Chains A and B, each alone.
Chain A
Amino acid sequence: MSTPAADVAHLLRRTGFESTSSEIATYAAMDLPAIVDTLLDFSSNPADTPPASLADPNKGNWEKMVDLTQWWLDRMATVPRPLQEKLTLFWHGHFCTQVSKVDHAVDMFDQNHLFRTEGLGSFETLVQHMSLQVAMLIYLDNDPNSKGSPNENFARELMELFTLGVDQYTQNDVVESARAWTGHNVDYDANPRVYRFYPERHDTDPKTFMGETKNWDGPEIITRILTVEPQRSIAARYIAKKVWTFFAAPNPSAAILDQLVAAFVGSNLDIRTLLRTMFLMPEFYTSTVKHGLVRTPVEWIVTVLKATGQTAVDRNPQWWMEQMGQVLFEPPNVAGWKNNAYWLNSTAVWARADFARNLTWHAHDAGFLMEIIARNPANSAQYVMTAGDAVDLALKKFGRDATVAAHSPWVHSVLTNWLTTQRATESAPTYSWRDWAAINLTTMTMLSPDVLLA
């Protein structure tokens, strides 16, 4: 049994950041379920020990966040099973918090760690644990939510953004849920600050939530939403749609969602089951999906770092990320980042081009793509590689192997024509002290639609 290489390449791009031709070949020899199960097995990924600066009392928070951002980008680029990191990124854009409000790197890391280690298991468990972390308690103002002065922010977003979507609950449900969540606060006297339940701040009076009256407590609200119909299926559909939108393409059809929901509900909202079902569906391999997503800035950065053998620690992509529109640990608001068109605008283009150029120089210093300027030793007027082959090589290095994956023939022809002209300006056998063909092809490939698309 084997799987078409084009499908394998697509699956690897969506479950990771960039794939090599040998990886594609290895997986193509397996059948799809075996591939998917392998990609979903994170056991070979190293433990996520955070950067040392997080524990250093002499470091400021800004510095810690730089370290944390670079650490995460480099982890994305290097772990054997990058799907774990992609999934962490997905949850980060779903259960949003912003470091500008949470303010402590260590709390952002704790949340990041939760998404990584529990992001593939029970959805209910993930929501329960996420709700009682300092980052979320602070971000959605549950930290001062107490009896007598309830704060509805978390209670509302828990339903509206995190589980059910708009209009699937009443304002009264929000009010009662807020009461149920009173007392689940942050202990600021502890160092570091921690979650703490304050019984004296907790509202123990009867509350009516989704038609049922009892002394609801916060965690019970989550259980109610995620284990009792019809909310359970509503939640399943809401999450399934977000997952498909992130990994496949926007606007999944009702038929696609029905399949995903059936599997998700049938497994008691097991995330691994949801992902596995998605990656095994034939719809995942249609051109609608293959052409369905623009890479987020994070994904694009990791792809180009990985392809050129550079690290975030050395290249500081975080200097450009705000202009690209995506700052890790700082989504624009509690609803997270949007997609596709959201990333395509002049400001982002300038930022990507600038970063690509910066990266290009360093890659060039390490000899990247210099094969293409090699001349024939017997006849120095000739190049070893044809222009077309050189362009193939460049695309392949960035994960678009023209022989096995969909690439853009038009872009290929533009680059080939460009290289032919460029070569004609560099007369043999004079050594060109600046190897413009290799340098500029590197930049252009990074900025090609092939590499901009997921």
Chain B
Amino acid sequence: MNSELLDDLAVARLSRPATLPGGLSRRRFLQLAGAGAGAATLTPYLSALEAFAAPPVGANEGILVLIMMEGGNDGLNTVVPTGDSNYYALRPQLAIPAGQALPVGTGYGLHPSFVKLKARFDQGDVAIVHGVGYPNPDLSHFSSMGIWMNGWAGGAQPGGATGWIGRYMDGLPNAASESLYGAVIGTSVPLHMVGSVARASGLPQDIGGAFGIDRRDANDVRMFDAIGAFSGGASGLGQWGDLAAKVEHDTLDLSQKIQPAYQGTFPDDDLGRQLTLAARLINANLGIRVFSTNIGGFDNHSDEAGGHAQNLASMDAAIEAFFTTLGSTWKNRVTLMTFSEFGRRPEQNDTIGTDHGTAAPLFVVGPRVKGGLYGAPSPTTNLDSNGNLKFHTDFRQVYATVLDTWLNADSKQVLGYQFPNLGLFDGGPGGGSTTPATRPHRRRRKRV
């Protein structure tokens, strides 16, 4: 029985409804603490739950925006080894002609769709990390994406599977009670955004018709305010009654806070919309530290050329839209990073596509990035026994670099192992030195 999953199904199985941490997506990560009934005592997260908010991002604090490329992005056609004759031999119909690739250094060029990204590379704002992967590569979408999302390198994980950004958020002040340290657009929070106590919030795709948004009619306003007032006194129905009321109140609050970000026009495509929203929400300084977005369609087993080109063009436009929407005061505090569950096989298949592979390059983009090529490229002449590229940079080394230098975290604690820094940044966020400036230790209580 073929249990291979389509890329969007795979990601769906690695996501959970935008609720509390602790759920697990597969037996491999399943480790239940206590009986499987699911803890329901009022955790610190809930008893101290503030309005859906987070302390505002400081002048020297970094924000990370992730782009998850679902399906396994074909690295070889993304950062094209234009000087590699073997690449052209393996892909007679699929290789990107050297003349079409956009040069990013000797022997390499970006896929022609990446016009804007190439311009940023020339400005020194794009780090291309070659050959990113991990040992004993798993060619299953589900398993490999789980590995990338989990990012733990410290052996058995007590308390069950969490994601690397989730664990980063766990270390932030009042992690258990702040729900906007991390955000995704949509109803499912992917595993990498789920920690032991912290988790990202799912914000809506569209807020137009959302309950509580439109306050133009007096009847609606009276209703919204009355619902908000349910939490104004003890419910008399115990802690769950109180919390149910509070969550409704806070959601109505949140909808007002994020409403401005949803006004105006958006790009037509999904990633464009997500990234434009992300930029606007960052501008609103709601305290979001990490934003995760996603774009599907990279599982190009057949007729790869057209679909891949279109996907990368969407990405290019969306990334451009992101940076142009981002307010100027945020420029030096935002870095964007791509990732995918694996690359693809060097040799094209019979249907002018590619099958699941292993290592691939990824991009780290932003004004504070030290642009250039990093890591060692995976040669197409030295493949593994499956005919796949060998990795050279463990993906967790990229995470460690971002965690330590950009997010001012302790990567050893978040990842369970000390990975060496790749030196991807000019310095810390905000133009400061690499030694991080102070983080706010006192939460400013925001109550609207």
Q: Chain A: residues with CB nearer than 8 A to chain B?
A: 100-101, 138, 141, 143-144, 153, 156-157, 160-161, 165-166, 186, 188, 238, 241-242, 245-246, 250-251, 287-288, 290-294, 322-326, 332-351, 353-354, 357, 406-411, 413-415, 417-418, 421-422, 425, 434, 436, 440, 443-444, 447-450, 452-453
Contacts and interface: CB of A to CB of B under 8 A. Distances in A.
Nearest to B15: A332
Contact of A343 (B19, B187, B218, B248): B19
A238 B17 CA distance: 26
A251 B40 contact: yes
A7 to B, nearest CB: 16
Contact of A443 (B23, B46, B223): B223
B20 interface: yes
Contacts of A407: 236-237
Given A325-B19, A341-B46, A354 B240 contact: no
- The CB with the most chain B CB atoms within 10 A, among A245, A341, A353, is that of A341
B24 A341 contact: no
Given A251-B41, A338-B40, 11 more contacts: A100-B9, A161-B36, A238-B35, A245-B38, A339-B37, A341-B46, A353-B210, A421-B222, A436-B219, A444-B223, A448-B230
Nearest to A290: B238
B415 interface: no
Contact of A414 (B22, B201, B232): B232
Contacts of B222: 418, 421-422, 440
A322 B46 CA distance: 23
Given A143-B1, A156-B27, A335-B32, A447 B236 contact: no
Nearest to B27: A153
Interface string B2-40: 010000010011001111101111110011101111111
A341 B35 contact: no
A191 to B, nearest CB: 16
Nearest to A409: B236
A338 B244 contact: no
Nearest to A161: B36
Contacts of A324: 17
22 contacts: A101-B3, A157-B27, A166-B32, A166-B34, A288-B238, A290-B238, A291-B237, A332-B16, A333-B23, A336-B38, A338-B22, A338-B38, A340-B40, A346-B251, A347-B17, A347-B201, A408-B230, A408-B241, A415-B226, A418-B229, A421-B222, A449-B245
Contact of A410 (B26, B32, B232): B232
A410 B222 CA distance: 17
A287 B139 CA distance: 52
B235 interface: yes
B38 A411 contact: no
B250 interface: yes
A250 B41 contact: yes
Contact of A350 (B40, B45, B211, B238): B211
B43 to A, nearest CB: 7
Contacts of A292: 238, 240
A453 B240 contact: yes
A149 B247 CA distance: 49
A144 B1 CA distance: 7
Contacts of B230: 408, 410-411, 414, 448-449
A335 B20 contact: no
Nearest to A143: B1
A336 B1 contact: no
Interface in B46-78: 46, 52
A346 B201 contact: yes
B40 A444 contact: no
10 residue pairs, one from A and one from B, having the closest CB atoms: A291-B238, A338-B38, A353-B211, A325-B17, A250-B40, A410-B233, A418-B226, A347-B18, A349-B251, A340-B40
Nearest to A434: B219
A138 to B, nearest CB: 7
A418 B232 CA distance: 14
B89 interface: no
A411 B228 CA distance: 11
Contact of B19 (A238, A342, A452): A342
A242 B52 CA distance: 31
A296 B155 CA distance: 36
A100 B25 CA distance: 13
A256 to B, nearest CB: 13
A345 B247 contact: yes
B253 to A, nearest CB: 10
B52 A449 contact: no
B254 A346 contact: yes
Contact of B52 (A346, A357, A417): A346
B320 to A, nearest CB: 29
B247 A165 contact: no
A264 to B, nearest CB: 15
B305 interface: no
A213 to B, nearest CB: 27
B287 interface: no
A257 to B, nearest CB: 10
Nearest to A357: B211
B75 to A, nearest CB: 29
Contact of B244 (A141, A344, A418): A344
A406 B235 CA distance: 11
B37 A250 contact: yes
A326 B19 CA distance: 11
B202 interface: yes
Contacts of A357: 211
Interface in B132-160: none
A165 B35 contact: yes
Nearest to A344: B247
Contact of A342 (B9, B20, B233): B20
A287 B237 CA distance: 9
A287 B238 contact: yes
A436 B201 CA distance: 33
Contacts of B25: 332-333
B264 interface: no
B243 to A, nearest CB: 6
A444 B30 CA distance: 39
- The CB with the most chain B CB atoms within 10 A, among A345, A351, A413, is that of A345
Contacts of A188: 1
- The CB with the most chain B CB atoms within 10 A, among A153, A242, A452, is that of A452
Contacts of A422: 219, 222
Contacts of A101: 3
